[in-house]
Structure 1
Amino acid sequence: MTSAESVFQITVQPSGRAFSANAGEAILAAAIRSGVGLPYGCKDGACGSCKCKKISGTVQHGAHQSKALSADEEAAGLVLTCCAQPLSDVVLESRQVTDESAYPIKKMPVRVASLEKKSHDVMQVRLQLPAADTFRYHAGQYIEFILRDGARRAYSMANAPHTQAEAPGVELHIRHMPGGKFTDHVFGAMKEKEILRVEGPFGSFFLREDSDKPIVLLASGTGFAPIKALIEHLQFKGISRPTVLYWGGRRPGDLYLDDWVQARVAELPWLRYVPVISNALPEDGWTGRTGFVHQAVLDDFADLSGHQVYACGAPIVVESARDAYSAQRGLPPEEFFADAFTSEADKHGG
């Protein structure tokens, strides 16, 4: 057997889950193919959500960003499963493995059902799914648009799965990135009834229901989309774990569903809400919390050792939170769940 035809065994500790990966195949792709739920976010070497420790074996990394995996981290045995290809059998350590909860990933056509501008640069897009197709996902997961040139754009579902019973389809929150061909289209030429192709669900960002720990939800910008789905899911399931949402934006208008959150807080005694603004102008009349949203959590919690944190948004926010909450507030790393929203600029930057 030539090396090009080699198949390697990948084992994940401490769960003992094992699966095979082909030579030249990323470990994460092999895990998804095998139904083994390793943590991941962008699948593109940009966010670091899939980082885990290699206990034994040899891998080679494809292109990735140093902010996702530094040379020092790689030398210390850390790997990015989304772009690490095995050169031998490999044993990894990952404490966030899920398996029973993987839903089938499918490609399907969708129709734009509605477009509603929620702020100057956020569009709420509702997609109608094929009538004959059951699309199952976890609150917090995402889908990818498959563009005509084969490029992909990932967006989280902002509605929990149970909401499809009364309003079939999925809700997305799309931020306009001027010059980005897809979001320029969404904010310019996209019309209701347009047909698009999507694939999903993807992502390991969903509620761990086997825990009763209190929850910190951390969102920046449209990172609120999957957080909204989590809140809907908590409410639907009757889960009343003490939960506090920190939502950050540059200006108050960036908290584009603030009224929705306020309404949930009024009806859910277990939910608190801390909006945080970093660049308010005098004319905004902002009297609430200011600064960086991940810092507000540090200011409010002396100890996070008994909590779970679900963080979503800009990679700098997610990574700052991941590092600080573990190092300074005792949060166990395996209790930090994240989905970093990487733009095309994030993926191809330095």
Structure 2
Amino acid sequence: MTHRVRIADSDHAFDVEEGESVIDAALRAGLMLPYSCRSGTCGTCMGDIVEGSITYPDGLPAAIDSEQDSNGKALFCQARPASDLVIRVNEVHDAGDIRPRRLPARVERMEECAADVRRLFLKLPRDKRLPFLAGQYIDFLLRGGQRRSFSLANAPHDDELLELHIRHLPGGVFSGYVFNEMREGALLRFEGPLGNFFLREDSDRPMILMGGGTGFGPIKGIVEHALYTGVERPMHIYWGARAWPDLYLDHLPREWAAQHPQISYTPVLSEPAESDGWKGATGFVHQQVVKDYPELGDFDIYMSGPPPMINAARTAFADAGLPPDRLYYDSFEAAPE
């Protein structure tokens, strides 16, 4: 049986399927409610039941006592509706509503995607989860007060592991460690989530999403979040790289485009090798965007990648009529050693 949940003092409502928690259903509907552990042990997700009733699958969770329960408090990461509900809880509306935290993480898995790119999958302690908005990043905390920033490449609903795409930079302290020394099981510390690069869900305009190199990572997270929450507005994904092997997860956007009519995908190579037999678009990725869309006034654009790409694209997109408040970007600046 499906139950309807409405958030008091707002116009937001969503359906909760049989056996589903309120938090999981809210995430599926594209709404972010406060949470942390998602196991009932921290109390971050506590709110009020204004109307209706709930149950807990395994009895009263650790972070709520019987007095709070009898006074209408609930832990929404564990609560299952037993009727339609009206709840009162502080929604997360933008990145400023999520407080960054310092957490440990263990390297659960590493995958080599290209000669100089690895996917890193991190697992938090058993009682911890990281609330974040699709597209945000984390800072790894290194010795001597150094930090290295990497974007999250997974969507918020899929947060059992945190995914990052790491490119090996010559002389890079952290990337050198990842490629030359790191093993599965290694322990790391980070602070996050950080940044204001995330999907604006209150817009109905078509989207252009442009990634350069490993800038595809946060684009991946945004697209997966949009698909999970049922966004149906057109999304045209552009991925710029030097040569064909640098499109290290090329099959993913091709699958999205094949399975979802609102998605288009255009990979662009700046220096394709003759051996690649490349027959697709060539040149700089932002130039291909303007070639395909000479008038950008009706679009939202999300882009992530190296500073030269970002700076050139900002100028080109403004010349094509894109209002500055509809351009969202994440510049992958290399940290000084």
- Find 1:208's aligned residue among 185, 197, 200: 200
The Cα offsets for residues 105-142 of structure 1, whole Å up to 9 and x where unpaired, read as: 10010000001100000000000012212310000000
Give 2:321's aligned amino acid. Answer: G
The Cα offsets for residues 166-199 of structure 1, whole Å up to 9 and x where unpaired, read as: xx12000000002111111100110011001000
Report whether the alignment pairs 1:253 with 2:245: yes
Q: Scaled by the length of structure 2, what TM-score is found? A: 0.71
Deviation at 1:102, TM superposition (A): 2.2
Q: Which residue in the other structure is 1:80 paired with?
A: none
Give 2:126's aligned amino acid. Answer: A
Give 1:249's aligned amino acid. Answer: A
Question: How is 1:92-103 mapped onto 2 (pairs within 5 angstroms)?
Answer: 99=94, 102-103=97-98
- Find 1:119's aligned residue among 114, 120, 124: 114
- Find 1:340's aligned residue among 319, 322, 331: 331
Are the counterparts in 1 of residues 95 and 196 from structure 2 also a CA contact under 8 Å?
A: no
Are the counterparts in 1 of residues 294 and 320 from structure 2 also a CA contact under 8 Å?
A: yes
Identity over aligned residues, as a percent? 44
Structure 1: any 5+ residue segments left out of the alignment? 1-97
Are the counterparts in 1 of residues 95 and 195 from structure 2 also a CA contact under 8 Å?
A: no
Q: Which residue in the other structure is 2:292 paired with?
A: 300
Give 1:126's aligned amino acid. Answer: F
Question: How is 1:180-329 mapped onto 2 (pairs within 5 angstroms)?
Answer: 180-326=172-318, 328-329=319-320
Q: Which residue in the other structure is 1:170 paired with?
A: 162
Partner-residue secondary structure (3-state), 2:145 = coil
| Number of residue pairs the alignment of both structures matches | 245
The Cα offsets for residues 282-314 of structure 1, whole Å up to 9 and x where unpaired, read as: 111111000000100111112100100001001
Q: Which residue in the other structure is 2:152 paired with?
A: 157
Q: Distance in 2 between matches of 1:246 and 1:321?
A: 12
Q: 1:330 to 1:156 in 2, by over 3 A?
A: same
Deviation at 1:250, TM superposition (A): 0.3
Q: Which residue in the other structure is 1:78 paired with?
A: none
Q: Scaled by the length of structure 1, what TM-score is found? A: 0.68
Q: Which residue in the other structure is 1:88 paired with?
A: none
Are the counterparts in 1 of residues 243 and 271 from structure 2 also a CA contact under 8 Å?
A: yes
Deviation at 1:163, TM superposition (A): 1.0
Give 1:332's aligned amino acid. Answer: P
Q: Distance in 1 between matches of 2:147 and 2:335?
A: 10
Structure 2: any 5+ residue segments left out of the alignment? 1-92
Q: Distance in 2 between matches of 1:130 and 1:276?
A: 40
Q: Which residue in the other structure is 1:20 paired with?
A: none
Superposition misfits of 4+ residues, deviation over 3 angstroms: 98-101
Q: Distance in 2 between matches of 1:274 and 1:284?
A: 17
Q: Which protein has the larger Cα radius of gyration, Structure 1 or Structure 2?
A: 2
Q: Distance in 1 between matches of 2:177 and 2:119?
A: 14
Q: Distance in 2 between matches of 1:137 and 1:218?
A: 21
Q: 1:200 to 1:161 in 2, by over 3 A?
A: same
